[in-house]
Structure 1
Protein backbone atom coordinates (compact mmCIF):
# COMPACT_ATOMS: atom_id res chain seq x y z
CA UNK A 1 0.00 0.00 0.00
CA UNK A 2 2.88 2.37 0.79
CA UNK A 3 4.31 1.72 -2.67
CA UNK A 4 1.00 2.51 -4.35
CA UNK A 5 0.72 5.77 -2.44
CA UNK A 6 4.31 6.66 -3.33
CA UNK A 7 3.64 5.90 -6.99
CA UNK A 8 0.51 8.03 -7.03
CA UNK A 9 2.46 10.90 -5.46
CA UNK A 10 5.23 10.60 -8.09
CA UNK A 11 2.68 10.42 -10.89
CA UNK A 12 0.86 13.49 -9.59
CA UNK A 13 4.08 15.46 -9.28
CA UNK A 14 5.31 14.31 -12.72
CA UNK A 15 2.18 15.35 -14.57
CA UNK A 16 1.19 18.99 -14.90
CA UNK A 17 -2.51 18.73 -14.15
CA UNK A 18 -3.03 22.35 -13.13
CA UNK A 19 -5.16 22.93 -16.24
CA UNK A 20 -7.51 20.17 -15.06
CA UNK A 21 -7.67 21.31 -11.44
CA UNK A 22 -8.72 24.82 -12.51
CA UNK A 23 -11.93 23.43 -13.97
CA UNK A 24 -10.89 23.62 -17.62
CA UNK A 25 -12.45 21.58 -20.41
CA UNK A 26 -10.75 18.41 -19.12
CA UNK A 27 -12.28 18.66 -15.65
CA UNK A 28 -15.40 16.74 -16.70
CA UNK A 29 -13.78 14.22 -19.03
CA UNK A 30 -15.74 10.96 -18.90
CA UNK A 31 -14.12 7.69 -17.92
CA UNK A 32 -14.46 5.47 -20.99
CA UNK A 33 -12.83 2.34 -19.61
CA UNK A 34 -11.65 1.29 -16.17
CA UNK A 35 -10.68 -2.02 -14.60
CA UNK A 36 -8.95 -3.15 -11.43
CA UNK A 37 -8.00 -6.66 -10.37
CA UNK A 38 -6.35 -7.30 -7.00
CA UNK A 39 -5.07 -10.77 -6.14
CA UNK A 40 -4.80 -12.23 -2.66
CA UNK A 41 -1.10 -12.81 -3.33
CA UNK A 42 -0.36 -9.06 -3.54
CA UNK A 43 -0.55 -8.89 -7.32
CA UNK A 44 -2.70 -6.31 -9.04
CA UNK A 45 -3.54 -4.91 -12.44
CA UNK A 46 -5.37 -1.75 -13.40
CA UNK A 47 -6.08 0.34 -16.46
CA UNK A 48 -8.23 3.27 -17.41
CA UNK A 49 -8.98 5.54 -20.34
CA UNK A 50 -10.72 8.92 -20.30
CA UNK A 51 -12.58 10.86 -22.95
CA UNK A 52 -9.82 13.44 -23.23
CA UNK A 53 -7.14 10.97 -24.30
CA UNK A 54 -5.60 10.12 -20.93
CA UNK A 55 -4.88 6.43 -20.38
CA UNK A 56 -2.78 4.37 -18.01
CA UNK A 57 -2.12 0.75 -17.19
CA UNK A 58 -0.04 -0.96 -14.53
CA UNK A 59 0.67 -4.44 -13.20
CA UNK A 60 2.38 -5.24 -9.96
CA UNK A 61 3.29 -8.10 -7.69
CA UNK A 62 5.37 -9.07 -4.70
CA UNK A 63 8.89 -10.28 -5.43
CA UNK A 64 10.81 -12.66 -3.15
CA UNK A 65 7.73 -13.32 -1.02
CA UNK A 66 8.65 -14.14 2.58
CA UNK A 67 12.34 -13.37 2.10
CA UNK A 68 14.24 -10.58 3.80
CA UNK A 69 14.51 -8.74 0.48
CA UNK A 70 10.79 -8.93 -0.32
CA UNK A 71 9.76 -6.07 -2.60
CA UNK A 72 6.72 -4.75 -4.39
CA UNK A 73 7.39 -4.42 -8.11
CA UNK A 74 5.34 -2.68 -10.78
CA UNK A 75 5.52 -1.77 -14.42
CA UNK A 76 3.22 0.32 -16.48
CA UNK A 77 2.63 3.15 -18.87
CA UNK A 78 0.56 6.30 -19.25
CA UNK A 79 -0.34 8.57 -22.13
CA UNK A 80 -1.77 12.09 -22.16
CA UNK A 81 -1.49 15.39 -23.99
CA UNK A 82 0.46 18.20 -22.37
CA UNK A 83 -1.14 21.67 -22.14
CA UNK A 84 0.98 22.80 -25.11
CA UNK A 85 -0.46 19.97 -27.26
CA UNK A 86 2.56 17.67 -27.04
CA UNK A 87 1.64 13.98 -26.80
CA UNK A 88 3.30 12.42 -23.77
CA UNK A 89 4.08 8.72 -23.45
CA UNK A 90 5.59 7.45 -20.20
CA UNK A 91 6.69 3.91 -19.40
CA UNK A 92 8.16 2.85 -16.08
CA UNK A 93 9.37 0.10 -13.84
CA UNK A 94 9.32 0.44 -10.07
CA UNK A 95 11.12 -2.16 -7.98
CA UNK A 96 13.81 -2.53 -5.34
CA UNK A 97 16.00 -0.32 -7.55
CA UNK A 98 13.53 2.59 -7.38
CA UNK A 99 11.24 4.29 -9.87
CA UNK A 100 12.69 4.11 -13.39
CA UNK A 101 10.66 6.20 -15.84
CA UNK A 102 11.28 6.47 -19.57
CA UNK A 103 9.81 8.99 -21.97
CA UNK A 104 10.94 11.47 -24.61
CA UNK A 105 9.58 14.34 -22.48
CA UNK A 106 11.85 13.58 -19.50
CA UNK A 107 15.03 15.62 -19.07
CA UNK A 108 18.29 13.84 -19.79
CA UNK A 109 21.70 14.57 -18.31
CA UNK A 110 24.28 16.31 -20.48
CA UNK A 111 26.97 14.11 -22.05
CA UNK A 112 30.06 13.39 -19.98
CA UNK A 113 32.92 15.66 -21.12
CA UNK A 114 35.67 13.95 -23.12
CA UNK A 115 38.33 14.87 -20.55
CA UNK A 116 36.36 13.14 -17.80
CA UNK A 117 35.90 10.04 -19.96
CA UNK A 118 39.67 9.93 -20.60
CA UNK A 119 40.39 10.33 -16.87
CA UNK A 120 38.00 7.50 -15.97
CA UNK A 121 39.58 5.25 -18.59
CA UNK A 122 43.06 6.06 -17.22
CA UNK A 123 41.92 5.20 -13.68
CA UNK A 124 40.41 1.94 -14.95
CA UNK A 125 43.66 0.99 -16.68
CA UNK A 126 45.84 2.12 -13.74
CA UNK A 127 44.03 1.07 -10.56
CA UNK A 128 45.42 2.42 -7.28
CA UNK A 129 47.97 0.17 -5.60
CA UNK A 130 47.17 -1.11 -2.12
CA UNK A 131 48.77 0.80 0.76
CA UNK A 132 51.50 -1.43 2.24
CA UNK A 133 52.87 1.05 4.83
CA UNK A 134 51.76 -0.68 8.03
Structure 2
Protein backbone atom coordinates (compact mmCIF):
# COMPACT_ATOMS: atom_id res chain seq x y z
CA UNK A 1 0.00 0.00 0.00
CA UNK A 2 2.81 2.42 0.87
CA UNK A 3 4.48 1.74 -2.46
CA UNK A 4 1.26 2.89 -4.18
CA UNK A 5 1.36 6.08 -2.11
CA UNK A 6 5.03 6.57 -3.02
CA UNK A 7 4.29 6.13 -6.72
CA UNK A 8 1.35 8.53 -6.53
CA UNK A 9 3.60 11.02 -4.73
CA UNK A 10 6.14 10.78 -7.54
CA UNK A 11 3.41 11.34 -10.13
CA UNK A 12 2.11 14.34 -8.19
CA UNK A 13 5.62 15.74 -7.85
CA UNK A 14 6.27 15.32 -11.56
CA UNK A 15 2.92 16.89 -12.42
CA UNK A 16 3.67 19.89 -10.20
CA UNK A 17 6.88 20.66 -12.13
CA UNK A 18 6.56 23.51 -14.62
CA UNK A 19 4.92 22.22 -17.77
CA UNK A 20 5.49 23.44 -21.32
CA UNK A 21 2.59 23.95 -23.70
CA UNK A 22 1.65 20.86 -25.74
CA UNK A 23 3.19 22.35 -28.88
CA UNK A 24 6.56 22.60 -27.06
CA UNK A 25 6.79 19.00 -25.86
CA UNK A 26 10.24 17.94 -24.74
CA UNK A 27 11.65 15.01 -26.70
CA UNK A 28 12.93 12.01 -24.77
CA UNK A 29 16.56 11.80 -25.82
CA UNK A 30 17.30 8.52 -24.07
CA UNK A 31 15.01 5.96 -22.51
CA UNK A 32 15.99 2.58 -21.06
CA UNK A 33 14.24 0.00 -18.90
CA UNK A 34 15.96 -3.07 -17.50
CA UNK A 35 13.83 -5.53 -15.48
CA UNK A 36 15.62 -8.36 -13.65
CA UNK A 37 14.14 -11.75 -12.75
CA UNK A 38 14.45 -11.01 -9.00
CA UNK A 39 12.24 -7.90 -9.31
CA UNK A 40 14.97 -5.30 -9.33
CA UNK A 41 14.85 -2.74 -12.12
CA UNK A 42 16.40 0.38 -13.63
CA UNK A 43 14.61 3.18 -15.51
CA UNK A 44 16.59 5.86 -17.31
CA UNK A 45 15.28 9.00 -19.07
CA UNK A 46 18.03 11.58 -18.73
CA UNK A 47 17.36 10.79 -15.09
CA UNK A 48 17.69 7.53 -13.25
CA UNK A 49 15.85 5.40 -10.74
CA UNK A 50 17.07 2.07 -9.45
CA UNK A 51 15.20 -0.52 -7.47
CA UNK A 52 16.58 -3.29 -5.33
CA UNK A 53 15.12 -5.93 -3.04
CA UNK A 54 15.65 -5.82 0.70
CA UNK A 55 14.38 -7.97 3.56
CA UNK A 56 12.01 -5.91 5.67
CA UNK A 57 12.62 -5.74 9.37
CA UNK A 58 9.71 -6.81 11.49
CA UNK A 59 7.55 -9.84 12.04
CA UNK A 60 6.57 -10.52 8.42
CA UNK A 61 10.12 -10.08 6.99
CA UNK A 62 8.91 -10.00 3.40
CA UNK A 63 10.98 -8.59 0.55
CA UNK A 64 10.49 -4.91 -0.20
CA UNK A 65 11.68 -2.87 -3.15
CA UNK A 66 13.81 0.17 -2.44
CA UNK A 67 13.61 2.79 -5.19
CA UNK A 68 16.38 5.37 -5.47
CA UNK A 69 16.55 8.09 -8.03
CA UNK A 70 17.10 11.69 -8.93
CA UNK A 71 15.82 14.26 -11.38
CA UNK A 72 16.31 17.89 -12.17
CA UNK A 73 14.50 20.64 -14.03
CA UNK A 74 14.82 24.36 -14.53
CA UNK A 75 12.33 26.48 -12.58
CA UNK A 76 10.63 29.45 -14.29
CA UNK A 77 13.10 31.82 -12.59
CA UNK A 78 16.04 29.93 -14.17
CA UNK A 79 17.07 28.06 -11.01
CA UNK A 80 18.09 24.46 -11.61
CA UNK A 81 16.18 22.23 -9.18
CA UNK A 82 17.86 18.92 -8.26
CA UNK A 83 16.00 16.29 -6.27
CA UNK A 84 17.33 12.96 -4.99
CA UNK A 85 15.01 10.44 -3.37
CA UNK A 86 14.79 7.05 -1.71
CA UNK A 87 11.46 5.27 -1.32
CA UNK A 88 10.55 1.98 0.31
CA UNK A 89 7.71 0.30 2.17
CA UNK A 90 9.38 0.74 5.56
CA UNK A 91 10.28 4.43 5.50
CA UNK A 92 8.16 5.87 2.69
CA UNK A 93 9.26 8.58 0.27
CA UNK A 94 12.28 10.61 1.42
CA UNK A 95 13.23 13.46 -0.93
CA UNK A 96 16.39 15.57 -0.59
CA UNK A 97 17.11 18.85 -2.32
CA UNK A 98 18.43 22.30 -1.51
CA UNK A 99 15.07 23.80 -2.58
CA UNK A 100 13.04 21.80 -0.02
CA UNK A 101 12.09 23.49 3.26
CA UNK A 102 13.76 22.21 6.42
CA UNK A 103 12.36 22.33 9.96
CA UNK A 104 13.80 24.88 12.36
CA UNK A 105 16.23 23.56 14.99
CA UNK A 106 14.71 22.29 18.25
CA UNK A 107 15.13 24.93 20.99
CA UNK A 108 17.66 23.84 23.66
CA UNK A 109 15.06 23.79 26.48
CA UNK A 110 12.75 21.52 24.46
CA UNK A 111 15.66 19.24 23.51
CA UNK A 112 16.66 18.98 27.19
CA UNK A 113 13.08 17.98 28.10
CA UNK A 114 12.97 15.39 25.28
CA UNK A 115 16.31 13.93 26.39
CA UNK A 116 15.01 13.66 29.97
CA UNK A 117 11.76 12.00 28.86
CA UNK A 118 13.75 9.45 26.86
CA UNK A 119 15.49 8.31 30.07
CA UNK A 120 12.22 7.56 31.93
CA UNK A 121 10.91 4.00 32.16
CA UNK A 122 7.85 3.19 30.05
CA UNK A 123 4.45 3.73 31.71
CA UNK A 124 2.65 0.66 33.07
CA UNK A 125 0.07 -0.92 30.74
CA UNK A 126 -3.42 0.55 30.93
CA UNK A 127 -6.07 -1.53 32.71
CA UNK A 128 -9.20 -0.36 30.91
Fold similarity call, TM over 0.5? yes
Q: TM-score, normalised by structure 1?
A: 0.71
Structure 1 residues without counterparts, runs of 5 or longer: 50-55
For the Cα contact (< 8 Å) 1:74–1:93, is it kept in 2? yes
Deviation track 1:77-118 (CA, whole Å, cap 9, x = no partner) reads 111112222111111111222111111111111111222012
* Aligned partner of 2:26 among 2, 24, 29: 29
- Corresponding pairs, count: 118
Instruction: Check 1:130–1:100 CA distance in 2 against 1; reply closer, same or farther (3 A cut).
Output: closer
Instruction: Check 1:124–1:17 CA distance in 2 against 1; reply closer, same or farther (3 A cut).
Output: closer
Q: What is residue 107 of structure 1 aligned with on the other side? A: 101
- Rounded to whole Å, the distance in 1 between the matches of 2:19 and 2:91 is 33
- CA-atom RMSD in angstroms: 2.8
For the Cα contact (< 8 Å) 1:19–1:83, is it kept in 2? no
Structure 2 residues without counterparts, runs of 5 or longer: none
Instruction: Decide which structure has the larger Cα Rg and report it.
Output: 1
- Rounded to whole Å, the distance in 2 between the matches of 1:29 and 1:129 is 57
